[in-house]
Amino acid sequence: MDEDNRTYERALAIIESRRRPRRPSAATAYVDGQAQVNGARSGATALRGTPSIVGMKEWLEQIGHSPDSLTSLKIIHVAGTKGKGSTCAFTESILRAHGKNTGRPFRTGLYTLPHLIYPEERMRLDSIPMNRSLFAKYFFELYDNTPQLHHSFDATNPDPVARGPRNLQLYFLLALHIFLSEKVDVAVIETHSGGEYDATNFILAPVVTAITTLGMDHIAMLGPTIKDIAWHKSGIFKPGAVALSTEQEAGEEVIVVLRERAQAIGEDVRFVGQDSRLPADASALEPAVQRKNASLAISVVEAWLKHSGQSSNKVLSREGIKMGIEQWSWPGRFQIVPEGRNTWFLDAAHNEMSIGIAAQWFAESSKKILEDMHAEPVRILIFSHINELRDPLALLRALALAFEEHKANVDHVIITSYDSHGKEDLNSNVGFVALKEVFSSIHPSTRVWDEHAIGSAIHFARRLGEEADMHALITGSQHLVGPALRILTEGEGRTVG
């Protein structure tokens, strides 16, 4: 490839070209050399398409790294349904704070997904998204040693290794290449969606594994029951790695599965409750679910300090915890953006469990802001969810019911798309009319509007709030919240309409 074309933009174009056109509808019977994926092991369920873990070892070796080399990263591996990203970010922040106080770890790596605004957010060094020139440099090192990337992606190729890594697999391979090349002292890794067959799970020897809150999501891939989901997520447990879980509220059957999966590899899973050392009034710990995530993160850090082999002070201090919480930042999750008389509330909730928490947070936070005011604000919901694996009607209905439960009066709902400028067809999913009927059946007095672009939706919300204070919740997907946050913070969309 021409040296002049080895740019950040070209790297992104190649990564984007590795998306498969659509997820397979048929269950796979692929044999991975150890067990038949299609239900061969107790608790396993049929998967659609080739498991994402297939090929990862081979591609890593192509770019010059053996699976054993990953032990130098002293990995923390996190799976779950709700709170994975926040827990990973709390973990990294507390580790970084501890390092400032004690000298180790010197450098942290953090891999999460999806990105909110820019792709390089997926891989961070000391919490900072990858520098774009380094992103391109490391990508083309990977590209040069992966011949499969030099050809167009062929989803019909029956040999998954020969056809090369798909989009998410490629992102994770790049993250590992970056972390190994930059010699990080610890890598905090978030799984993609599953666990057992997730692309991230070819890691053989993590130091700590952790499961966040489990619930019914990605049912077509991981279900159909909560036990199946628990089985998949706990597939990240490994012999010799500390096994942790937050306290699970989805039922005793989930706890039983996690315990059995851990015991099968010779480990005992420990369930973590709320940590009394958390700061009482930290804004980062609102809503309450963030205390649950931060408590798990503290236990993860303490286990890592004890078992990582680092020669640093292994005692996590209250000051280290406090500093880690105070410096924590995770845009797009329970984020409040003030704008004159307008206040924007952004949360990337995208399943029925998380959407209810977002509604409660909006209701409580909106009321708290208005404690010293007399007039009620105009309250607006901006919503979109376009996903073949979830039902947006069920998601919006859950949101409407949560508003009703928490007595949050919403004056207007604006249904939009993921696109900043209206190029995307809103009706490619379920359509405006169906979404309007779902919300109106529970809140008949709420006006429901159709805006095909995020920019125009935000501009319209500003217009609706011109005569009063306005509070707007933007939720339904990270693919909605990311572009919305970019518009709000970088000034796009103010003249759209």
pLDDT band at 477 (very low <50, low <70, confident <90, very high): very high
Beta strand 128-129 with 123-125 is antiparallel
* Position 38 pLDDT exceeds 90: no
Residue 262, amino acid: A
pLDDT band at 353 (very low <50, low <70, confident <90, very high): confident
Reduce the DSSP state of residue 483 to 3 states and report it: helix
DSSP-based helix, strand, coil % in the chain, nearest 5: 45, 15, 45
Q: Which of 134-143, 167-176, 216-225 has the lowest mean pLDDT?
A: 216-225
For the segment 101-122, the average pLDDT, to the nearest whole number, is 93
- Are 108 and 262 within 8 A, CB to CB? no
pLDDT band at 376 (very low <50, low <70, confident <90, very high): confident
What's the pLDDT at 420?
Answer: 62
pLDDT band at 369 (very low <50, low <70, confident <90, very high): confident
Query: Which value, in Å, is the radius of gyration of the alpha carbons in the chain?
Result: 23
Full 3-state SS string of 72-104:
HHCCEEEECCECHHHHHHHHHHHHHHHHHHHCC
For residues 98 and 76, what is the distance between their CA atoms, to the nearest angstrom? Answer: 16
Cβ neighbours of residue 120 under 8 Å, at least 6 residues apart? 129, 130, 131, 132, 135
| Bond from prior residue into 147 cis (ω within 30 degrees of 0) | no
For residues 187 and 314, what is the distance between their CA atoms, to the nearest angstrom? Answer: 17
What's the pLDDT at 16?
Answer: 95
Structure tokens at 293: 């995530």
E strands present in 231-387: 242-246, 269-272, 335-339, 342-347, 378-383
Domains and CATH numbers, the chain: 3-326 (3.40.1190.10), 335-490 (3.90.190.20)
Q: How far apart are the first and last CA of the chain?
A: 43
pLDDT band at 23 (very low <50, low <70, confident <90, very high): low
Reduce the DSSP state of residue 18 to 3 states and report it: coil
For the segment 485-495, the average pLDDT, to the nearest whole number, is 71
What's the pLDDT at 156?
Answer: 85
For the segment 316-337, the average pLDDT, to the nearest whole number, is 94
Give the H or E element holding residue 450.
strand 447-450
pLDDT digits (tens, 9 = 90+) for 427-464: 445 788 999 999 999 999 999 999 989 999 999 999 99
pLDDT digits (tens, 9 = 90+) for 416-437: 988 765 555 444 457 889 999 9
Structure tokens at 328: 């924590």
What secondary structure letter does DSSP report for 375? S
What's the pLDDT at 493?
Answer: 42
* Measured CA angle at 211 (ends 207, 212), to 5 deg: 130
What's the pLDDT at 452?
Answer: 87
What's the pLDDT at 387?
Answer: 78
Reduce the DSSP state of residue 485 to 3 states and report it: helix
pLDDT band at 368 (very low <50, low <70, confident <90, very high): confident
What secondary structure letter does DSSP report for 465? T
Alpha helices in 131-283, H assignment, sequence order: 132-144, 160-163, 167-181, 219-222, 226-233, 252-264
* Position 413 pLDDT exceeds 70: yes
What's the pLDDT at 24?
Answer: 53
pLDDT band at 350 (very low <50, low <70, confident <90, very high): confident
Please give the mean pLDDT across all residues of the chain: 89
pLDDT digits (tens, 9 = 90+) for 156-213: 888 999 999 999 999 999 999 999 999 999 999 999 988 999 999 999 999 999 999 9
